[in-house]
């Protein structure tokens, strides 16, 4: 799928990450920006009350310089501190289930976090993450300039898997039963050409199809149905998902006879 980032481990195991899209990243940035503004507002109020008795020009310049330094420290330190403590997450990312990782799926390091957040100043140009949004829109993995410079990307966190969910994933998929007047033998020819792995792949698609977006679901169904038809020597045609259901149903009859 186009929105997935695949990593092959040294053990030849593929790990798949769902890449965070432009919309979710912008919403996470909005949450973080709001929190930063609250922090800066608190710092500004503290400075005002701390030097409220100083009214000369030199004191005012000193306060302005201190405010500028504190603003930069808060803006840069906010992201750096949270990403290090929460392993690539800020409050905004955590609220939306996002996490920044290095390419290859490796955890975010202090140097990578420092680079991606220093370049944030450039991403913000000319205002409101204008350049960063444009780059994310153009990049297929929705990376801004800071991500490109640091070799990072933002992914969606997978949901925790419970024992009940694992059991449900291993259970046979429910499909409409055979017609009552169907003969006891399978209706599809040459089912011995279908391997057990093919059958499990077909079942896995039927389990997951309701969680897929319409376009990836249709594309995967067409590819899987075409491969299974080719394995059986059947011509292309018909509704892919109905054919996959039919094959699973008839393979069970073949397996049990």
229 and 199 in a single domain? The answer is yes
Q: How many angstroms separate the CA atoms of 244 and 238, rounded?
A: 11
Count: domains in the chain: 2
pTM of the model: 0.60
Residue 30, Cβ neighbours under 10 Å: how many?
Answer: 12
Percentages of the chain per state (helix, strand, coil), in multiples of 5:
60, 10, 30
Q: Which of 156, 186, 210 is the last residue of a domain?
A: 156
145 and 197 in a single domain? The answer is no
Q: Considering Cα of 106, then 107, then 110, then 116, what sign does the dihedral take?
A: positive
135 and 195 in a single domain? The answer is no
How confident is the prediction along the chain (257 residues), in pLDDT tens digits per residue?
A: 456 676 665 545 556 788 888 888 989 999 998 998 888 888 777 767 766 555 555 556 666 677 777 777 777 889 999 999 999 999 999 999 999 999 888 889 999 999 999 898 898 888 778 888 899 988 888 899 999 999 999 998 865 555 455 455 555 677 777 777 777 788 888 888 998 888 889 988 888 888 888 888 898 999 999 999 999 999 888 899 999 999 999 998 888 87
Q: Which of 156, 188, 214 is the last residue of a domain?
A: 156
3-class SS at 156? strand
């Amino acid at each position: 799928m186009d929105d997935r980032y695949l990593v092959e481990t040294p053990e030849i195991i593929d790990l798949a990450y769902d890449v965070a899209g432009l919309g979710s990243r912008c919403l996470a940035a909005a949450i973080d920006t709001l929190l930063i503004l609250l922090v800066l507002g608190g710092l500004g109020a503290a400075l005002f009350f701390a030097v409220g008795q100083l009214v000369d020009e030199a004191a005012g310049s000193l306060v302005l310089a201190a405010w500028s330094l504190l603003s930069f420290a808060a803006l840069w330190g906010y992201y750096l501190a949270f990403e290090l403590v929460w392993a690539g997450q800020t409050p905004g990312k955590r609220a939306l289930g996002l996490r920044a990782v290095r390419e290859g799926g490796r955890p975010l390091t202090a140097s990578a976090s420092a680079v991606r957040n220093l370049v944030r100043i450039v991403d913000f140009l000319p205002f409101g993450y204008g350049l960063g949004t444009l780059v994310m829109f153009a990049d297929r993995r929705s990376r801004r300039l800071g991500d490109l410079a640091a070799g990072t990307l933002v992914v969606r966190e997978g949901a925790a898997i419970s024992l009940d969910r694992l059991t449900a994933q291993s259970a046979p998929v429910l499909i409409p039963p055979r017609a009552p007047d169907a003969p006891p033998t399978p209706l599809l020819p040459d089912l011995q050409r279908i391997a057990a792995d093919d059958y499990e792949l077909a079942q896995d698609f039927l389990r997951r199809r309701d969680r897929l977006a319409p376009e990836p679901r249709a594309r995967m169904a067409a590819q899987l149905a075409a491969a299974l038809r080719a394995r059986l020597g059947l011509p292309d045609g018909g509704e892919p998902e109905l054919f996959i259901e039919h094959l699973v149903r008839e393979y069970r009859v073949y397996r049990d006879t």
